[in-house]
Chain A
C-alpha cells in the first residue's frame, strides 16, 4: 500500500499527443474533414506560391536601370530605389531633403515615446506642442535662416503624415465638444450637434473634399484665398470630428449614472463635473477606438489624390506616368501597400494592446 510508485507506473502521454506530431494532430489533422481541408490548402499554396516567389524574388531585379528590366520575366523592384526620393518627398526642393526627414523622424520618435502609458503626463502635451512647432518651422521654413517652402511643395509621405496626425489632433477637441453637445439636455444645442454628426457620417469623405476644394473658396470674402493643403486639412478635420464625437459619446454613455450623481452631490458644476469626473474616465475607455479612428484617417488621407494633392499615393502615380517606369505599377503599388501596412499594422496592434491593458473595469 505505502509502496512509492516507481517510474514505470507513470504513464507517459501517448507520443501522438505531444510534440510536433501532437501539434499537427490537434491543429491540422483532428478529423477526416480537417485533414482533407489541410491537404487542399497545402495544394493551393503549392500551386500559388512558387510562381509568386519566382516572380518576386528569383526572376526579379532590385537595383537596375529601366532598360535592364525590359528583358526579365519577374518583378522590376528597381522602380522603387530609382524613384524613392520623389515617392517619399515629392516636390520638396532639392538640397532641403533633410528638413522633412528630420520632421518625420521627430514625429515618429515622439509617437514611439508616447506609447508608454507611464509617460502620459501633462509634460507630454507640452512636448507634443513644442514638437509640432519645430516640425512646422522645419517644413515651412522662414525662421532660423531656413528658406521658405510653400505648402504646394509639401508632398509625399510628410503630407500624408501631416494630414492624418494633425487632422486627428485638431479634430479631437472638436469631437469631444460635439459629443458633449449631443448628450446635452438643451434641445437647440442637441439638435445642431446631432444634425452635424449624422450628416457628416452619412456622406463620403470624398464629397467633403470636393466641398473643400470647390466650395470653400466661394465662402470667403473677396480677395481672401485659402491654401489648398489647409482646405483639405479642414475637410479632414470636419469629417473626422463627427466620427470622434460618436466614439466619445460611447465613452460618455458607458459612465454609470452614479458618477454624475456623485459629482452633483459634491456641488460640482457642469464644467467641473465633465473636466474632473466624467471625461477623464470616459476618454480612457475610448482610447483604443480612437487609435482605430487615427488608423482610418491615415488610410483615408489617400483620398486627397482625387483633389490633386500630392500625397504619397499621388507621387507614386506621378512616377508611374513616366513612360520609362509606367509598366511597373504592380511593383510600385505593392511597395506602397507595404509602407501603409507597416504604419497601420503598428497602430492596430497598439490599439489592441491598449484595449487589453486598459480593460481594468472601474
Chain B
C-alpha cells in the first residue's frame, strides 16, 4: 500500500478530470481500499483464531481472572497466597514491575547524570574511566548483563548458613541481602507525615522566596530551611515518642532468615543490570545536553563571577535540561520495558506472572493482550508526565 496523495489541488475548472487524476477522490479511494484490506486481514485472522480455539477447546474471555491462581509468587508488596485469584496475582506482578521500574528510574537518573558529568571532567583519568564504562555497558546486551549479575549473586555468595555478616544485622548470602529495620512503632507514621508536611511547606516557602527575590532582589534560603525542617521535625517527633530504637533483627531459622527486610538476588540482579545498562545511555544524553550549551554562556557566567556550582545550577542545567528531557524520557520507558526481562532470571514481574497464567489457563490471547495493555499504560503515563515536565521546562525559554 503506497499512499498516493498529491498536495497540489486538482485543476477542476477546465475539462472534467477523470477521478484517478483527481487527488481528492483518489485519496478517498485509496483510504477505502486500505481500510478494506486491513479489516479483511483482521477478519481472516480472527476467524482462524476462533476456529483454532474452538478446536483446541480453549475458553475465551477474561473469566479466568476470577479463578484461583494456585501458584506462589516469590516476592510481593501486598499479601498474596496461592489461594488468591489470577487478578490478584497479576496485580502483584504489576506492582513488582512498578517497584523495579520506579527505583530503577531514580537510580539511573542519578548515576547516569554523575557519569555523564564525569565523562566531561577535565580530569583525564576520570573522563576515560567514564568513557570505558559507557562503551562497555552500551555494547553488551542487557539480558546477558542480567544473567551475569544473577550468576555472580547466586553463585559467589555463600548459603544462608555461612552468610557473610559484615556488620551487625546485615547478612549477605545467595538468598539475598538481608538487613535489620526498625521495629514497627507508632512514631514512624508521625515521622513520615511530618516529613511530607515539611516538603509541602518547603515548596510553598520556595515559591514565596522566589517571588520575594523577584520583587526585592533579596534571596531567601528556602532550600536550606526545607532540608533542615525535613530532617529536624521527624527527629523531634522521634525524641518525643521516647526515641524507640528496637530493631527487627534477621535471624537464621532452619534454612532461611526470618525477620528484617530481604532484597532477593533476582531483584538485586535485575535492578543492577537495568540501572547500569540504562545509565550508560543516560550519561551520553547528559553529556550531549551539557555540550550543547555554547561556550560563551559559561564564559559569560564566569565573567559575572558566579561560582562553578552556581554556573552549573543557574546557567548550564536550565538550558541543558531542555535538550536532555525528551531522550531521557525514552530511556526511562526503555528501562520500564526492559524490566520485562525479569522473567529470564525468575523475578516475578508482570510478564512472568502473565506467562505463568498463560501456561496454566492456555488463554494466550488474553494474556498477551494484558501484557500489552499494561505496558502501554506504563509507557503512556510516563510519557504524559514527562511531556508535562518538558513543557514546564520549555516555558523558561525566552
A interface with B by C-beta (< 8 Å): 27-28, 30, 34, 37-38, 41-42, 177, 180-181, 184-189, 192, 199, 201-207, 210-211, 214-215, 217-222, 260, 264, 269-271, 295, 299-300, 302-303, 305-306, 313, 317, 327, 329-330, 333-334, 336-337, 340-341, 344-345, 348
Contacts and interface: CB of A to CB of B under 8 A. Distances in A.
Contacts of B145: 337
Contacts of A341: 136, 139-140
Interface stretch (B124-132, B216-224, B296-304): B124-132
A333 B125 contact: no
Interface stretch (B69-77, B333-341, B384-392): B333-341
Interface string B41-79: 000010011011101000000000000000000000000
Nearest to A268: B6
A27 B123 contact: yes
Contacts of B364: 210, 214-215, 218
Interface residues of B, number: 64
Contacts of A302: 141, 143-144
6 contacts: A28-B124, A38-B123, A210-B368, A222-B55, A302-B144, A333-B148
Interface in B1-46: 1-8, 27, 30-31, 34-35, 38, 45
Contact of B31 (A188, A205, A219, A313): A188
Contact of A180 (B3, B338, B355): B3
A268 to B, nearest CB: 9
The 4 A-B residue pairs with the shortest CB-CB distance in the complex, in nearest-first order: A344-B139, A27-B124, A204-B337, A214-B364
A348 B333 CA distance: 22
Contacts, number: 181
Contacts of A199: 372, 376
Identify whether the interface residues of B are mostly helix, strand, loop, or mixed.
helix
B183 interface: no
Nearest to B151: A329
A206 B4 contact: no
A340 B141 contact: yes
- Which among A42, A189, A299, A348 has the highest number of chain B CB atoms within 10 Å? A189
B129 A41 contact: yes
Contacts of B148: 330, 333-334, 337
B355 A210 contact: yes
B288 interface: no
A215 B333 CA distance: 25
A152 B338 CA distance: 27
A348 B48 CA distance: 43
A214 B358 CA distance: 9
Given A204-B351, A327-B155, A348-B139, A186 B5 contact: yes
Q: Output the residue of A218, A329, A334 with the most chain B CB within 10 A.
A: A218
Given A207-B372, A302-B141, A333-B147, 18 more contacts: A30-B123, A41-B125, A186-B5, A199-B372, A202-B372, A207-B371, A210-B358, A210-B368, A214-B368, A219-B45, A220-B52, A269-B4, A270-B6, A271-B4, A303-B341, A305-B143, A305-B344, A337-B140
B319 interface: no
A299 B142 contact: yes
A76 to B, nearest CB: 13
